[in-house]
Amino acid sequence: MVSSHLFVDIGNSCIGWKIGNDYYCVEIKNFQPNAIPQHQTSSIACVANQQLIAHFSNPIIIQPKAYTGLVFDYNLAQLGVDRFLGLVAGIEKYPEQDFMLIDIGTFVTIDIVQHGKHIDGGIAPGLCQLQAGKKFAGNDSQKSWQLGTENMLSDYIESRCKAFSGKILITGGGQKLVNIKLAEYCQNLVITGLEIINGK
């Protein structure tokens, strides 16, 4: 039996999808089209690598739009669909609470919702972006660079969390970089947002 609908998150460096209760994620460089499960239709969030959309059946491309319960502090034509869907997932999960959403991936994005109003928390380079900025000839220096950039990024994220009073949601492929005790770690809020949009 062919499952009907596939939810797809195409990012800068990874692609993930969910069908039923099964979730799968792989780096773009290792993506194999034959790994895609059989499906009839698909909802797709795509921020890069648009050529991959062609591998999915009857795709519905999701774009940011006005959403009940959220007032956006951003031009929706410029807001990444990954950030939009993460906010949708957050506001549906915590409609009466302030929250900060941190997505740690190729880039680190921070979005805050207070009293139903979205506040842009900024875009920062992710770990790979930072580490690609310099290559050292010696192994010890390269290891030290990697350690320094990891500490710098984790310190930045932790400082933002300490300064915030409310729920903290952390998602994205690099979420293991930080250990925020009071944060709620979420496998993929983009996929969760796609499921919510599909159900509306």
Residues designated as active site: 82
Instruction: Tell which residue, 25, 24, 120, 137, has the closest CA to residue 75.
Output: 120
Residue carrying the six token digits 């959309």 = 53
**In angstroms, rounded to a whole number, what is the distance separating the alpha carbons of residues 112 and 164?**
9
Q: How many CB atoms lie within 10 A of CB 38?
A: 11
CA angle 133, 134, 135 (to 5 degrees): 140
123: Cβ–Cβ under 8 A, 6 or more apart, which residues? 107, 108, 109
Q: Are 153 and 172 in contact (CB under 8 A)?
A: no
Q: Are 28 and 15 in contact (CB under 8 A)?
A: yes
**In angstroms, rounded to a whole number, what is the distance separating the alpha carbons of residues 50 and 18?**
18
**In angstroms, rounded to a whole number, what is the distance separating the alpha carbons of residues 27 and 170?**
20
